[in-house]
Amino acid sequence: MRKTPVCIALLLCAASALAAQKPHAVAHMKTLDGSNAGTVEFAQTNHGVLVTFDLHGLPPGAHAIHIHTSGNCDTRAKFTSAGPHFSPEPKNHGFMTKGGPHPGDLPNQFAAADGSLHASTLTNMFALGNGKKSIFDRDGAALIVHAKADDYTSQPAGNSGDRIACGVIVRTVGPKARKAAKQTAHR
Ligand code: ZN
């Protein structure tokens, strides 16, 4: 019987540690033929969201990377089902555009000669909780890798070409998800 208070104390400690954890999310990426293309992790920090790329199977060179507004990576639709760039308020595309950028715009990333891409970037333009800047609205969000570099200027997507890899961003730590939207027919 003397063990009981210890167990309760441990449980309370575990619960408070869990509550202190900041939101975290992951996107399991796939290419247009449905192959696994690695993962992208999202970690909320006090200074923004740290985005870490661990990808493979990409064409070597520069690629535009954006958060798109819907969590839908349908290969038959060539990932167009992910919608436009995440931007809750009307904004222009690109870091070098007046009235820009979209909060879902991220800097170009560069695949190595073997098609791997290991990098990280920090952004404070969106967040992983359920607040105003959250990417987790009712239909979620997706991370898209484009065929070409983002010129940071052209509308609506930086002349970055086809969508070649896509991953639905799934929260692994954080507040309870908002109620999901009804499944749409094209899904
Ligand atoms: Zn954009």
More confident residue, 110 or 175: 110
Hey, what amino acid is at 171? R
Q: How far is the CA of 84 from the centre of ligand 1 (A)?
A: 8
Q: Per residue in 151-186, pLDDT tens?
A: 999 999 999 999 999 999 999 998 876 665 554 444
Q: How far is the CA of 159 from the centre of ligand 1 (A)?
A: 10
Hey, what amino acid is at 134? S
**Predicted local confidence at residue 110, as pLDDT:** 98
Q: How far is the CA of 139 from the centre of ligand 1 (A)?
A: 18
Q: Per residue in 8-18, pLDDT tens?
A: 555 555 555 55
How many Å apart are CA 114 and CA 55, to the nearest integer? 11
**Predicted local confidence at residue 137, as pLDDT:** 87
Q: Per residue in 30-73, pLDDT tens?
A: 999 999 999 999 999 999 999 999 999 999 999 999 999 999 99
Q: How far is the CA of 5 from the centre of ligand 1 (A)?
A: 54
Q: How far is the CA of 187 from the centre of ligand 1 (A)?
A: 24
Confidence of residue 20 (pLDDT cuts 50, 70, 90): low
**Predicted local confidence at residue 177, as pLDDT:** 65
Q: How far is the CA of 78 from the centre of ligand 1 (A)?
A: 18
- Give the list of residues 6+ apart from residue 169 with CB closer than 8 angstroms, or none: 25, 26, 27, 40, 42, 67, 71, 135, 136, 140, 141, 142, 143
**Predicted local confidence at residue 11, as pLDDT:** 55
Owner of token pair 């800097």? 107
Q: What pTM does this model have?
A: 0.84
Percent of the chain with pLDDT over 70: 83
Confidence of residue 21 (pLDDT cuts 50, 70, 90): confident
